[in-house]
Amino acid sequence: MTVRLRPYLTLTPVETPHGCEAAVLDERTGRYHRLNATGLIIVRALLDGHDTAEAARRLVAAHSGAAPNADAADAAFVTALRDAGLLTDAEPGGSR
């Protein structure tokens, strides 16, 4: 599954006291969506062209306490991002 952000969205990493999180700006509406550190790990892996299994591996590597069912949780998170209109399928051979 190769995904990309919608073209009108901008992902900006933000350093917080809790680590690196991100803000996603919807340039059409001016609305911000917040990704916590876990969400950012998942989204970065997907935008780099990896699947949810690799995103789960990265999540477990970054947070040793991550759930053993991280892959299923990642898939549910990706579904939620799609439903919110933040992620869409990347066109084969196209840019992300």
In the prediction, which pLDDT does 6 show? 92
Q: What is the pLDDT of residue 96?
A: 41
Eight-class DSSP state of 91: P
17-37 in b/e form (b: 16+ CB < 10 A) is eeeebbebebeeeeeebebeb
Mean pLDDT calculated for residue range 4-18: 90
Please write the tens of the pLDDT for every residue from 47-96.
999 988 888 888 888 877 666 677 777 788 888 888 988 888 876 555 44
For residue 54, what pLDDT is reported?
Answer: 87
Which pTM does this prediction carry?
0.80
Domain ranges across the chain: 3-86
Residue-level pLDDT at 9 = 95
Q: Quote the CA–CA distance of 96 and 88 in Å, as a whole number.
A: 10
